[in-house]
Amino acid sequence: MSGYISMFFETIFGFFALFLITKILGKSQINQITPFDFISALLLGELVGNALFDEKAGIPEIAFVVTVYGILLYSTEIITQKFKGTRHLIEGSPAIVIYNGKLIRDTMKKNKLDVNQLQHLLRAKDIFSLQEVEFGILEANGTISVLKKSDYQTPSRKDMKLSPHDVSLPTTLVNDGEIIYDNLKEKNLTEEWLIEKLKEQGYDHLEEIFYVEYVKNTDLLVHPILNRNHQRWDLD
């Protein structure tokens, strides 16, 4: 009987320990789960489960396992936030699998994605023909983001009897306050041009900027860095 009582308290402790870990790691563990996060969650649950049925393991042992693994996961999150170069290694990176309506076979092969799997992902986006897609991006969590051709956008220009126009893929020029020079070069833009455009919108220092998005023939989309005092927390 004492064994069941011990397992009861160990289960209760394990439950609250896992709950605490998920709260500390943040909502991204669920909403933006990557393959690394998925494996980590399985392994953490397995460690707690094995400890529950190990006669030699009690609450101190479970606490130790959860704490150590929680620290490792939290440290990984901090590293990816502080050192952006590690994000590609740990979290993965998006990959363009459809470009200007054309399938990029090499990228699909590299990401172990065949046409049938791609079609399945597109159907989940209510797209039943590759003909509708201008750009398709395979995200790090395995989902696909799609930019439709202008004729198939809602409401479609085709329905409104308007002529088609070119569709441009937005490009990130500044991320986390750092200029993405590769993207500037790809779009034949310069750092001087970017700084001038930011000044036109009232931003004199790059340190003020969190994110900048560029689309040809439109104004830059600029998200400044906001302090908590400037944010609205009510969602009514």
Please write the tens of the pLDDT for every residue from 152-174: 888 767 777 778 777 778 899 99
- Contacts of residues 11-17 at CB distance under 8 Å and 24 or more positions apart, as own/partner, are 11/52, 13/59, 13/62, 13/63, 14/48, 14/51, 14/52, 14/62, 14/66, 17/48, 17/62, 17/63, 17/66
| pLDDT computed for residue 229 by the predictor | 47
| pLDDT computed for residue 236 by the predictor | 37
| pLDDT computed for residue 55 by the predictor | 67
- For 95-152, CATH number out of 3.30.70.360, 3.40.50.150, 3.40.50.300, 3.30.240.20 equals 3.30.240.20
Residues in the chain: 236
* Stated pTM of the model: 0.57
Please write the tens of the pLDDT for every residue from 130-152: 889 999 999 877 889 999 998 88
Banded model confidence at residue 216, pLDDT cuts 50, 70, 90? confident
CATH class of 171-230: alpha beta
Please write the tens of the pLDDT for every residue from 95-122: 999 999 888 888 888 888 888 899 999 9
199 has pLDDT over 70: yes
Please write the tens of the pLDDT for every residue from 22-68: 666 654 544 455 666 667 777 777 777 776 666 666 777 777 777 77
Please write the tens of the pLDDT for every residue from 171-197: 999 987 889 999 999 899 999 999 999
